[in-house]
Structure 1
């Protein structure tokens, strides 16, 4: 059924819809700061009409952003994305003002407020906010800046696809010409009969593939069951700490910690680790300070940390939808020595990768189970003991991007927290920097600054302990 104007949701995509709650939206977002000059009119105000018109032209690169969710009738298969005949760019590109004093803290607070509510499912599931009222950047006084908050539903993209989607929406050249005015007309949605026949063909095709190679199908099934069982063995292994608690609708707290990407690479290389290991070790240093500050014991404590990992084929990052698995890692919270901590983290991630092979089949089984139980009203996420928190890391563009000629000078990711998770960290690289965004429940984690400051201290100590990086800045 996938074709012009429509596309089926996968099992994992559908799970992202089913897991959404009013107090726990399932969207991913990026928060950027861009130079304001090219976006202003002759009076120094945002040229909103021209911005909308020019951005709408760029939708020819990302036609999925004109599509809306539609549920199929009974026996007609899973939901699908179809062209929205009522699409209007004004519903998706809007403005808000950052509160005084217009610094990074105020920008993060404004972004958090805008991200609290789920996206409107009667429209394409994305929006883009232009945030005015920012003060000049400390590195470039006198240069006006605008915040840019791009949000899209997790049913449409995973982290890697979200970066590719945003990059396609922007330009690699500040002088890039606008695409021609598109003559877009929404494709008519498929009829109920078309959907029924498509669903029947799909099921018959799957049955035929099983009958054509029953032995291979059995091996695939057994491998998937074995891998899923390995993941399920992680259930109820997360130690009880204050990191897991009931969360309410009081919002989140956002903090950003920045690392130099080249420095992170040098540190990782010097210790036989990866950049992702460096990110995890930095987070664990902050978590150690957080738990100690709460009077909780950390000696010998290993936390269960989920690290999303892509199972997307190389070169297919532009494909939308979800192609992601999850690694459950046992990471040290009590180690005070930064070098030893990084070594333990690197060993733990290697062990997790060896013991938990990722595949689309396993991901489909696990997310299908979770989404199905959620659809039945079972709040497993609110009672789970498989993980203490989540850390994601996505590679972003190394070269600068431009919004209608305005350079994107900074970009950080914003993820979500659900169930009884009070904490999550998302990392994104852009132009030689790693931005680590800490997202914490406002009620359960009011001491989030202890965590953020601890992460900065842990990174500084790790760099100082690495001769190859001690003389650099980052």
Structure 2
């Protein structure tokens, strides 16, 4: 049992009638012998839940919202509240699957239970099946999400007992068994028979108790001014690198003064002006979502990176810049200024915090959508990302947590949705959030079925923009998941097509 941090709680606070704050993944599987069933998934989950604490903990709110909630074991855990089955109508193609996933992705998680769901989706063309899993961002970040994924996956189809404890406790550092190779280019209702199951080893601790919660809330609210001052000083040290705020007069002077007062003598590299221009992506989001997904060969992305002396992530950011530019040009909506992108970064130290919660920050950088030439856009993207990384390396990794800690818990809980909606209309801090998550380059298995692709799906919100692009490298491919609000982006599949075209354009440059 432990209390949520200010950053964890902020992911709860942002939720509203139009905003959800869970992260998700869509796995496409070849079920082989048909072993990927709801019953098999239930057995697997109940057997391995102890490897991922986020799956068995529920929220315990503090009365009247006086403090951040707590995590506690759910003594009444029932797998039927989390595992569902759906059959797609014919023809069971990608578009039908995306429509079903978008519908599920738009629904908020039930806070009366541990904050996750898994959906087995059958009826796909070619006899394939899909498994969509979502977990609230208050419970996991990129590292704990990878740990959760690793806990459920095996290295071989018959290795049903292989677990994260034996496979390295995280997907990313897993090593391929001898002889494995990367994959070739691969082209909701609540179902019946939802039998209940109880997770073995669940604790009986239902929370810290009313008296303890109220006493803790009283102490923390009494000391809030002191903690807020510390957080404000730490955040002010990098005021000139925070989106929107950095454009205010005197931001640089305030940053230098805050660093001097706090004794921070590290020189900060200069960063470009981070003012997000107005785009169709920015504005209040609706409660609906649209989803698109697809893959490109990772070897092609690495080839472009090697030929131009930049990182794979720089190429990913260039692909996004090119796709966004093409989409905006078609709608006569391309701003003269570069877009501003936020790139989440895991800053978790060794061991984490019991496998639950967030240790994340963000790199914010201009995305040169205003540059017409492909090679020049690639070069400027690489330079912008290098500058942003240098600045990030010099700044405290806690700036996002510090910003969330400035106001008392009751105030942030009440004010966040309204402030986010106001920001979307008056002054959006960023245009888009882009994530690139490295994964294993060998096949993995779920209940004996081979995972062919794994498409990550994330959050859109009033403040972060109505479009999110996330990619995951797996088994020789780079799998893209695109989530959008339909009022902000009218065709997500078109945007995905532009991503593929952008890679072809870069490859043609290197061949010329």
User: Which residue does 1:225 correspond to in 2?
Assistant: 236
CA deviation string 1:352-383 (max 9, x = no partner) = 22334453431212234598546225333433
User: Which residue does 2:471 correspond to in 1?
Assistant: 427
Selected match of 1:151 from 130, 134, 153: 134
Selected match of 2:311 from 247, 259, 274: 274
Once the two structures are TM-superposed, the CA of residue 458 in structure 1 deviates from its matched residue by 1.1
Question: Which of 188-197 and 437-446 deviates more?
Answer: 188-197
Aligned alpha-carbon RMSD (Å): 3.2
Question: Which of 364-373 and 392-401 deviates more?
Answer: 364-373
Question: Which of 239-248 and 179-188 deviates more?
Answer: 179-188
Question: Which of 169-178 and 341-350 deviates more?
Answer: 169-178
Is 1:247 the counterpart of 2:285 in the alignment? Answer: yes
Secondary structure, counterpart of 1:37 in structure 2: coil
Give the conservation status (yes or no) of the 8 Å contact 1:160–1:394. no
User: Which residue does 2:204 correspond to in 1?
Assistant: 187
Hey, what's the Cα distance between the residues in 2 that align with 1:20 and 1:303? Answer: 25
Q: Check 1:337–1:247 CA distance in 2 against 1; reply closer, same or farther (3 A cut).
A: same
Hey, what's the Cα distance between the residues in 1 that align with 2:136 and 2:210? Answer: 26
Is 1:348 the counterpart of 2:365 in the alignment? Answer: no
Aligned residues: 442
Hey, what's the Cα distance between the residues in 2 that align with 1:233 and 1:280? Answer: 22
Question: Which of 458-467 and 74-83 deviates more?
Answer: 74-83
Hey, what's the Cα distance between the residues in 1 that align with 2:230 and 2:118? Answer: 46
Q: Check 1:424–1:183 CA distance in 2 against 1; reply closer, same or farther (3 A cut).
A: closer
User: Which residue does 2:153 correspond to in 1?
Assistant: 170
Give the conservation status (yes or no) of the 8 Å contact 1:161–1:317. no
Is 1:410 the counterpart of 2:453 in the alignment? Answer: yes
Hey, what's the Cα distance between the residues in 1 that align with 2:466 and 2:329? Answer: 17
Give the conservation status (yes or no) of the 8 Å contact 1:374–1:380. no
Hey, what's the Cα distance between the residues in 2 that align with 1:295 and 1:344? Answer: 23
Relative to the length of structure 2, the TM-score reads 0.78
User: Which residue does 2:299 correspond to in 1?
Assistant: 262
Question: Which of 342-351 and 288-297 deviates more?
Answer: 288-297
Hey, what's the Cα distance between the residues in 2 that align with 1:30 and 1:59? Answer: 18
User: Which residue does 2:276 correspond to in 1?
Assistant: 238
Once the two structures are TM-superposed, the CA of residue 397 in structure 1 deviates from its matched residue by 2.6
Structure 1 stretches of 5 or more lacking a match?
1-5, 41-45, 137-143, 211-217
User: Which residue does 2:2 correspond to in 1?
Assistant: 7
Once the two structures are TM-superposed, the CA of residue 437 in structure 1 deviates from its matched residue by 1.7
Once the two structures are TM-superposed, the CA of residue 38 in structure 1 deviates from its matched residue by 4.3
User: Which residue does 1:103 correspond to in 2?
Assistant: 93
CA deviation string 1:204-225 (max 9, x = no partner) = 99999x9xxxxxxx99974542
Question: Which of 222-231 and 6-15 deviates more?
Answer: 222-231
Hey, what's the Cα distance between the residues in 2 that align with 1:446 and 1:283? Answer: 17
Once the two structures are TM-superposed, the CA of residue 326 in structure 1 deviates from its matched residue by 1.8
Give the conservation status (yes or no) of the 8 Å contact 2:294–2:481. yes
Hey, what's the Cα distance between the residues in 1 that align with 2:28 and 2:247? Answer: 39
User: Which residue does 1:378 correspond to in 2?
Assistant: 418
Secondary structure, counterpart of 1:99 in structure 2: coil
Once the two structures are TM-superposed, the CA of residue 37 in structure 1 deviates from its matched residue by 3.4
Secondary structure, counterpart of 1:380 in structure 2: helix
Once the two structures are TM-superposed, the CA of residue 444 in structure 1 deviates from its matched residue by 2.7
Give the conservation status (yes or no) of the 8 Å contact 2:304–2:510. yes
User: Which residue does 1:139 correspond to in 2?
Assistant: none
Give the conservation status (yes or no) of the 8 Å contact 1:167–1:401. no
Structure 2 stretches of 5 or more lacking a match?
164-197, 249-273
Once the two structures are TM-superposed, the CA of residue 281 in structure 1 deviates from its matched residue by 0.5
Hey, what's the Cα distance between the residues in 2 that align with 1:294 and 1:23? Answer: 25
Alignment of 1:11-90 (within 5 A): 11-40=6-35, 47-73=37-63, 78-90=68-80
Secondary structure, counterpart of 1:379 in structure 2: helix
Q: Check 1:179–1:84 CA distance in 2 against 1; reply closer, same or farther (3 A cut).
A: farther
Hey, what's the Cα distance between the residues in 1 that align with 2:493 and 2:161? Answer: 43
Hey, what's the Cα distance between the residues in 2 that align with 1:197 and 1:440? Answer: 42
Question: Which of 144-153 and 64-73 deviates more?
Answer: 64-73
Is 1:296 the counterpart of 2:353 in the alignment? Answer: no
User: Which residue does 1:363 correspond to in 2?
Assistant: 400
Q: Check 1:23–1:220 CA distance in 2 against 1; reply closer, same or farther (3 A cut).
A: closer
Once the two structures are TM-superposed, the CA of residue 79 in structure 1 deviates from its matched residue by 1.3
Q: Check 1:135–1:358 CA distance in 2 against 1; reply closer, same or farther (3 A cut).
A: farther
Give the conservation status (yes or no) of the 8 Å contact 1:396–1:430. yes
Q: Check 1:339–1:91 CA distance in 2 against 1; reply closer, same or farther (3 A cut).
A: same
Once the two structures are TM-superposed, the CA of residue 112 in structure 1 deviates from its matched residue by 0.6
Is 1:387 the counterpart of 2:430 in the alignment? Answer: yes
Hey, what's the Cα distance between the residues in 2 that align with 1:15 and 1:75? Answer: 13
Is 1:128 the counterpart of 2:118 in the alignment? Answer: yes
Hey, what's the Cα distance between the residues in 1 that align with 2:231 and 2:378? Answer: 36
User: Which residue does 2:259 correspond to in 1?
Assistant: none
Q: Check 1:186–1:80 CA distance in 2 against 1; reply closer, same or farther (3 A cut).
A: same
